[in-house]
Amino acid sequence: MRFHVRPTASPLIGSIRVPGDKSISHRAVLFSAMAEGTSRITGVLDSADVRSTISAVSALGAVVEIVAEEPDGLTLLVHGWGCDGPVEPVGSIDCGNSGTTIRLLMGVLAGWGIHAVLTGDESLSRRPMRRVTSPLAEMGARFETAEGGVAPVGISGGALAPADFDLPVASAQVKTALLLAGLRASGTTRVCEPASSRDHTERMLPGFGVPVMRDGLCASVTGPVVPVASDVAVPADPSSAAFLVGAALLVPGSDVTLRAVSLNPTRIGLLRVLARMGADIHVSQGDDVCGEPTGDIRVRFTEKLTATTITAGEVPSLIDEVPLLAIVATAAAGTTRFEGVGELRVKESDRLAAIADGINALCGGAVATEDTLTVTGGHPLVGAALDSLGDHRLAMAFAVAGLVADGETIIDRFEAVDVSYPGFAADIKALLKGSTP
CB 403 within 8 A of CB 250: yes
User: Helices in 269-391 by DSSP H: which ranges?
Assistant: 269-276, 322-329, 351-361
- Other CB atoms within a 10 A radius of the CB of residue 224 amount to 13
CB 269 within 8 A of CB 41: no
Relative orientation angle of helices 22-34 and 48-59, to the nearest 10 degrees = 10
Backbone angles phi, psi at 17, to 5 degrees: -110, 120
Which of 199, 320, 387, 391 does the annotation list as catalytic? 320
Nearest CA to 25 among 291, 228, 242, 234? 234
Sheet with 280-289, strands from edge to edge, namely 13-16, 255-262, 292-300, 280-289
Half-sphere exposure at residue 318, Cβ-oriented, CA atoms within 13 angstroms = 25
Backbone region of residue 276 per phi and psi (left: phi > 0; alpha: psi in -120 to 50; beta: other values): alpha
User: Helices in 264-391 by DSSP H: which ranges?
Assistant: 269-276, 322-329, 351-361
CB 138 within 8 A of CB 92: no
Sign of CA dihedral 201, 260, 242, 72: positive
CB 375 within 8 A of CB 330: yes
User: Helices in 76-204 by DSSP H: which ranges?
Assistant: 99-109, 130-139, 172-182, 200-204
Backbone angles phi, psi at 108, to 5 degrees: -60, -40
371 is a catalytic site residue: no
Q: Which residues are catalytic?
A: 320
